[in-house]
Each structure stands twice: as C-alpha cells, then as structure tokens.
Amino acid sequence: MVLNQRVLSIFDILGPIMIGPSSNHTAGAVRIGKIARMILGEEPIYINLYFYGSLAETYKGHMTDAAVVAGLLGMDVDNQRIKESLEIARNKRINIKIHTQTISDKNPNTIGIELKSNSFSVKINTISIGGGEIVLSNIDEFKVNFSGNKDIIIVILKEKYSKVISKIKDIVGKNVISIESIKGDSRYLICIYLERVIDKLILKLIMNIKGVKFARLIKPLYSYKLKDNSPLFTTIKEMLSLTKSNKKSIPQVIIDYESKRSGLTEKEIKDRIKQIWRAMKEEINQGLTKDNQLIGGLMSGKDAKMLYKALEEKKLVFGRPLSLAVARAIACGEVNASMGKVVAAPTAGAVGVIPAVILTAAEELGSEEQDVINALLVAAGIGVIIAYKAAISGAMGGCQSEVGVASAMAAAAIVQLAGGNSEQVVQAMALALKNILGLVCDVVAGPVEVPCIKRNVVGVANAFAVADMALAGIQSIIPPDEVIVALRNVQTLMPMELRDTTLGGLGITETAKRLKKEWLERIKKKE
C-alpha cells in the first residue's frame, strides 16, 4: 500500500538545513507559516493556532508556535531568530492565541490557522508530513492539496465565469501549465499552476478583472520545484533494475531520478550535496567544541564532549571508530536540541546518525570527497524509496520512522563507501531497518532531548554492524521492499501514546512526569 505517492526530492530527505529541534514540528511549521503568509498577503494582526494530537502535547518543546509565527513574519527555516519570533510578534502587537486538542481524529501533525490582517481574513488547515515537508489541505471552505513545490496563482470568484478565466489566461500568457476549479459554498477557487514565478504586477491586473474578489501568488517553499511527477523508480527492485539495464551505479541512477523530478543538472545536484556535507561537518564541530544550551534543560548538553574526552584519554572499551561516531551523533543531537543549525537527515530527531556514520567511515576508509557525495546520494535515494510507502515522522510512526530510517540510510551509505556492490547496499538497508522495527517515540516532557539524542546512538551502532554483515555477503531473508512494507504495517499498529505524545513509555515514568512539570513551570515563568 502506498501511503503518500509523493514524488519526493532527495533534498527532502537530506534536508532542510534548518534550525532545530524538529524538522516535522519546527521546520515544517515555519514553512506552514510562510505559505499562510502568502495566502493572507500581508503581515497578520491576529493569529489563532490550533494544534492536534502529538502537537497538542509537544508544541512547546518543539517550538512549533514560535516556528509558525516565524514563518508568518517572513523567516525561513534556517533563520537564527526563529526562537525570538513570539517576542518579535508581541512587540509588533500581534495577538496570538493557542488552542490544543490531544484526542482527535485528525492527522497528529495538523495545524489549523486563523489569520486576520488590516484588510483580509482567512482560515487554513495544514499538515506537517515529516522532514520539513508540508501539505495545505484547506483554504476557508475550499479543499486543496498544495505541497509548496509549485508556482500557483489562486483566485476567488463569486461565480464561475468562463470569461474571467479566459481573461486571466490572457494576462498570464504561455506561463500557464494547468488550471483547476474548486467549488466552495457559494464561491469558486481557481488554481492556476505556472511554469515560473511571475511579476507581482500581474496580480494587480487580475484583481482589476470584474468578478475577481481575491488573488494571491503562492511561491514554492523550496529551491527545487517539482518538474515531473512520474518518478523514475519507487521501489528498491525498480532502482536495482535500472542500475543493471543501464549499466549505471546506484549514485548515478539517483542523480537521474532527481534530474527528472526537479530538472536540476548533475552539477547542481552534486553542488547541493556538497553544501549539505559541509553543514553536517559544521554541526558535528559545533557539538564537540561549543557550549550548547539545550532549550528543555533536561540534559547538560555536554555528553558529546564527555564521551570524546574519555575516548581521547583511552578510557573506552570498543575501539575508536564506533566511540567516535557515537560522540559525533550525540554532538549533532545536542546542537539540534539547542536550536542550532543542523541538517534533517531524514529528520531532525535523527539528525546525528548519517553525519556521524559517514564522516567516521570515510576517515577509516580514506575516502575522497566524491566517495562521500556518492554515499550521501545512496542514503538519500534509499530514504526517498522508504518515504514513498511509509511515514518519516515520529508522530506518525514512532522513532522507527526517524532513527530507524536514518540507520537504514546510513548502513547503505557505509557499504557504498566501502566499495560494496548494489545488492550489498540494499541488503544493508533491509538488515538495518528490520533491527529497529517497533522503536517507539516516547519523548519525555516535550523537548527533542530524552530519549531522542541517545536513540541516535542505537542507529549509529546498528548501521555499522549491518554494513559489515552486508559486506560479508549476509542477506535479509525478507526482501528490502517487503521490509519497507513491514515498517508501514508496524506504524499503523502503533498506538497514539507511543507516537511523540509524551503519553506512553518513558514519557509517563515518575521522573518524566516531574521533568515535564518543571519544564512547563519554566516556560510559564518566561511567558
């Protein structure tokens, strides 16, 4: 069963480069705020936010309220001022109200927004679907399906005048790809999909047409638009078939996938991967050398340095590569939890696995930069295939969907770095994912700290272990594509309490309850 049928970019999986702590509930929320601002058309004076399910319990720890407001104020996902957005809004005298509903039949990542400006008001419903990706599902009474990956003009008409639509087409010209008409209660929403961004003056011309009540331009939230929505492959089997029939490596087939999907050249793709790799190394360095103040204050933020110091003093047991990778993974998690700049890979909750594994493996193997680029391409391609069928979100499917998927991606990357063949690469992915099926998301208090940061360590150790197994020729009895189906099955069986709600597992221990109470009291004092 296909869950999403979204033709993801590899940069949806290795990215965004963002401010922590959650790609789903922070970066995704910023993007939700940005698209809401485009629809409103100006800065709001009144903001009503509705959080459901997981978000109702964790929005403070994930800074989701600040993130949505940051987007509404025009900030992007990597803006260092996201944490200050609520204060900025208060200074601007913007009225903000929060409403929560934990028990709900809505998607647990749903954010409802009511906005008012000096000249307009709008209600929208949105979903953050993991890794910073979002879907806009409603604009007032109109049901839509916008993912923020296309240029769109939306126009509201009191009646469906074919002449009006014809006039709009004349104004926009050959730039139009397609037009969709959506009927509301007593109005029509016309969605005009464009080839490229248009001049804002065109909106004024459209607004001057008789019968047009409203017109807005919705620009893409990403620098890689969706150019072709028929994916080159959606399964491991199809990807391997392409490598064999075209006599190409997995990295090259993944480049072909992204070129078809986004229209990017091979050079553009590799340049973006290099940028991601630089950001990953920077977050590791930040975690091991700087003072990281975790926003929840549940931990010291110094665990990575403690482990690294013990490693340098030769106090540890299992050798340098694994201990070094573990220290690096914790370092990334601590940067993320302190609202530092990180790479979601594939999510911010699993931020440490892939950077720590690839950097350490590359050093051990003496890999060149091109080798690392190929390994990251493999990791991204594996992530794209998994995300086609299964959620990449703790709120949707537990930590198996975040650290579990990151571990599978990292294991495949190690085998690629070590010169393994295509079959060994995908077997590593299957072996890794099988080992972490059922891993719950039982976050303590709300911040992305306990047990999130140390869960990354499990992903690191698992990736190294199964990579060696795959390189030795060991295979998964269950084929890789079927393992992905199993992941989706476990996600659907997992109760809400174990999916990022603080309502199960470690989240309801006596210590967790105390930490949550103390955390909420600290927040109240700040407010």
Q: pLDDT per residue over 217-259, tens digit each?
A: 999 999 899 999 999 999 999 999 999 999 999 999 999 999 9
Is 445 inside a domain boundary?
Answer: yes
Give percent helix, percent strand, percent coil of the chain, each to the nearest 5.
Answer: 50, 15, 35
Peptide bond into 479 cis (omega under 30): no
Whether residue 345 lies inside any domain: the answer is yes
> Percent of the chain scored above 70 by pLDDT?
98
- Give 47-91 pLDDT, tens digit per residue: 999 999 999 999 999 999 999 999 999 999 999 999 999 999 999
Q: Is residue 91 part of a domain?
A: no
State whether 414 and 516 are in the same domain: yes
Please give the pLDDT value at position 1.
Answer: 32
- Say whether both 362 and 273 belong to one domain: yes
Token code pair at residue 237: 């089997």
CB contact at 8 A, 347 and 402: yes
Q: Classify residue 137: in a domain, yes or no.
A: no
Compute the distance between CA of residue 139 and CA of residue 125 in angstroms, rounded to an integer: 7
25 inside domain: no
pLDDT at 527 over 80: no
Q: Are 435 and 509 members of one domain?
A: yes
Contact in structure between 380 and 14 (CB atoms under 8 Å):
yes
Question: Is residue 298 domain-shared with residue 190, that is, in the same domain?
Answer: no
Instruction: Look at residue 413 and tell me if it is in a domain.
Output: yes
Task: Return the bridge partners of 146, or none.
Answer: 136
CATH number for the domain spanning 162: value is: 3.30.70.260
Q: Tally the domains of the chain.
A: 2
Average pLDDT, the chain: 94
Cβ–Cβ under 8 Å, residues 355 and 341: no
In a domain, 97, yes or no: no
Do 282 and 394 sit in the same domain of this protein?
yes
Q: What does the DSSP 8-state code read for residue 198?
A: -
pLDDT value of residue 2: 36
Q: Are residues 181 and 279 in the same domain?
A: no
- In a domain, residue 429? The reply is yes
Please report the pLDDT score of residue 5 as a whole number. 58
Q: Which residues contact 86 (CB under 8 A, 6 or more apart)?
A: 65, 66, 69, 96
pLDDT, tens digit, 9 for 90 and up, residues 98-157:
999 999 999 999 999 999 999 899 999 999 998 899 999 999 999 999 999 999 999 999
User: Which among 166, 192, 219 is the end of a domain?
Assistant: 219
Confidence of residue 175 (pLDDT cuts 50, 70, 90): confident
Same domain, 290 and 405: yes
With cut-offs at 50, 70 and 90, classify the pLDDT of residue 319: confident
* C-beta of residue 487 within 8 angstroms of C-beta of residue 436: no
pLDDT in tens, 273-308: 999 999 999 999 999 999 999 999 999 999 999 999
Domain that holds residue 437: 236-526
Q: 329 and 293, same structural domain?
A: yes
Angle, CA of 128, 348 and 382, to the nearest 5°:
85
Q: Are residues 199 and 254 in the same domain?
A: no
Using CA atoms, how far apart are residues 260 and 248, in angstroms rounded to an integer?
16
Tell me which residue of 424, 420, 407 sits closest to 464, measured CA to CA. 407
Regarding whether 484 and 402 lie in a shared domain, the answer is yes
pLDDT at 14 over 70: yes
Q: Listing from the earlier edge strand, what are the strands of the sheet with 142-146?
A: 95-101, 46-52, 110-116, 121-130, 133-139, 142-146
Both 292 and 437 in a single domain?
yes
Residue 199 burial by Cβ neighbours in a 10 Å radius (0-12, 13-18, 19+): exposed
Least confident of 199-203, 366-370, 507-511: 199-203
398 and 267 in one domain? yes
pLDDT of 402 higher than 50: yes
